[in-house]
Homo-oligomer: A and B are copies of this chain.
């Protein structure tokens, strides 16, 4: 068994993160607290320049490249937020980024990647098809393929948890959305190392449970992929993040897409922040597990915020929930 990332790696990542980014706020919300029956805080990773915590990791990865790697460029596949992170970090470092996205990818995320100077290529029906294809291109061109679970990404995203602990040292529970798992890994490594009593709980959609099923069974289980929330839509699980989550994660829950949509509306109403499905999933989970959270200090990691306005309109104009 190879080494796992540690909190030292996360501390070492901080200077690379803060060279470009500010710490994000952790706000307490009274009305959400009343709804959940706990003290509810939101870690506003949706306030990052690309609207998601992944940007922390991209910057750490780019900082570690050799001059030859920088020159040959970065290649990756993404449903959106990981790609925006790589595009942001590439622009900041003067590197060319080529990003494969599945057909039908969130148009706002695609526009944002292009706005950041990345070349975006559509390929295949889901993340995994796009990934396999772009890996071949990267190999042909001698560029560096960045997997969404590469360790520097985990180190970078973990800095979000250090900020949580600085602002709220007596946090009891952190709920974090899981896509490929870099966020859950970085968060749980940092939080559990500093205070093993903190419970770190991953959240995925019932409509795309591959990572949750793999965590629960201890095997790599490919799942169905029917969620609207592309940030947590994983069909083929990742071994390296599973390995870390098996060690550090306390629990991993599933929430239904319909409850995620309700959580998006509640977050708009009570925090005036726009969350995409992945960013709202932790609130949906908190409302589902109220009994376990009663009276505790609970942090919901809101990552990310990149909901297409057309999708928001569908949710709000369908009359869900009853106003």
Q: Which residues of A contact B (CB under 8 A)?
A: 22-23, 25, 27-31, 44, 46-47, 49, 51, 108, 111-112, 115-116, 265, 268-270, 272-274, 276, 305-310, 312-313, 316-317, 323
Query: Closest CB-CB distance, A318 to chain B, in whole Å?
Result: 9
Check B313–A323 contact: CB distance below 8 A: yes
Contacting residue for A317 out of B115, B308, B310, B317, CB 8 A: B317
Residues of chain B within 8 A (CB-CB) of A306 are 272
20 extra interface residue pairs, beta carbon distance < 8 Å, beyond A22-B25, A29-B115, A313-B316: A25-B47, A25-B49, A27-B49, A28-B49, A30-B112, A31-B115, A44-B47, A46-B272, A47-B47, A108-B269, A108-B270, A268-B312, A269-B308, A269-B309, A272-B307, A273-B273, A273-B274, A274-B274, A309-B323, A316-B316
Cα-based distance from A27 to B312 in the complex (angstroms): 23
Cα-based distance from A183 to B111 in the complex (angstroms): 33
Check B313–A317 contact: CB distance below 8 A: yes
Residues of chain B within 8 A (CB-CB) of A305 are 272-273
Pick 19 A–B contacts, CB within 8 A, sort by A. Answer: A22-B22, A22-B23, A25-B49, A27-B49, A28-B49, A29-B115, A30-B115, A31-B111, A108-B269, A265-B309, A272-B274, A272-B276, A272-B306, A272-B307, A273-B274, A273-B305, A309-B316, A309-B323, A316-B316
Residues of chain B within 8 A (CB-CB) of A316 are 309, 312-313, 316-317
Cα-based distance from A115 to B276 in the complex (angstroms): 26
Cα-based distance from A44 to B274 in the complex (angstroms): 14
Cα-based distance from A108 to B111 in the complex (angstroms): 33
Find the B residue at minimum CB distance from A272.
B305
Residues of chain B within 8 A (CB-CB) of A116 are 30
Cα-based distance from A222 to B299 in the complex (angstroms): 47
Cα-based distance from A188 to B111 in the complex (angstroms): 34
Cα-based distance from A305 to B46 in the complex (angstroms): 14
Cα-based distance from A44 to B309 in the complex (angstroms): 19
Find the B residue at minimum CB distance from A269.
B309
Find the B residue at minimum CB distance from A313.
B316
Find the B residue at minimum CB distance from A108.
B269
